């Protein structure tokens, strides 16, 4: 494994890599993270949160300072309780990672626990072509192939709240799924 050529965000440590279907999946250990943005949940376990409304609220807050941004050129979307699906209402958060919980009261905060994550770097059309058989995709569509790799390599979703997130810059993006090793 060539660790020198793998980009890591603050608080990440590379644990391993998996190569399948011509795509590299990284297993990283992430420290607890604080996310600042707009968070909402569906009214029940079978519906979706108001994603357009949450995104509009997040975009309206762009002028409001986020204190101690860790990666100011990156933003994203967290999906809560989508994998494997269950009895809890699903949640969505549009966000950026911060180093402090001391934020403007108009923002929601969410902490993701320290955990292992499997991620894939969506940096070219090769990724959806090799994983999904199509030329392009929404980043969240990569969660399915990540879940497959997790299951194939002895991992499952964390609980009680499953966490997946998309992390974007102007040039590329990553899809992450929080995992734990299955008991053997």
Residue 148 phi/psi, 5-degree rounding, is -60, -45
Alpha-carbon gap, residue 63 to 60, rounded angstroms: 7
- State pLDDT tens for residues 135-178: 999 999 999 999 999 999 999 888 778 899 999 998 889 999 99
Q: Find where tokens 């590299």 sit.
A: 24
Q: How far apart are CA 51 and CA 100, in angstroms?
A: 25
Domain ranges of the chain: 1-184
pLDDT tens digits along 30-81: 999 999 999 999 999 889 999 999 999 999 999 999 999 999 999 999 999 9
Helix (H, G, I), strand (E, B) or coil at 128: helix
Domain 1-184: give its CATH superfamily.
Regulatory factor, effector binding domain (3.20.80.10)
Distance CA 88, CA 165 (A): 18
């Amino acid at each position: 494994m060539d660790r020198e050529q793998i980009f890591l965000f603050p608080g990440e440590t590379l644990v391993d890599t998996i190569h399948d279907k011509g795509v590299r999946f990284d297993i990283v250990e992430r420290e607890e993270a604080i996310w600042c943005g707009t968070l909402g949940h569906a009214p029940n376990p079978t519906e979706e949160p108001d994603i357009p409304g949450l995104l509009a609220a997040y975009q309206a807050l762009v002028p409001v300072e986020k204190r101690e941004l860790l990666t100011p050129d990156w933003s994203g979307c967290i999906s809560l309780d989508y994998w494997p699906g269950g009895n809890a209402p699903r949640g969505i958060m549009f966000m950026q990672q911060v180093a402090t919980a001391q934020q403007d009261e108009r923002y929601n905060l969410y902490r993701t626990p320290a955990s292992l994550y499997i991620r894939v770097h969506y940096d070219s059309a090769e990724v959806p072509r090799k994983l999904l058989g199509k030329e392009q995709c929404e980043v969240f569509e990569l969660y399915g192939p990540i879940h497959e790799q997790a299951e194939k390599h002895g991992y499952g979703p964390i609980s009680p709240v499953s966490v997946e997130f998309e992390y974007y810059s102007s040039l590329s993006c990553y899809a992450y799924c929080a995992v734990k090793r299955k008991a053997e």
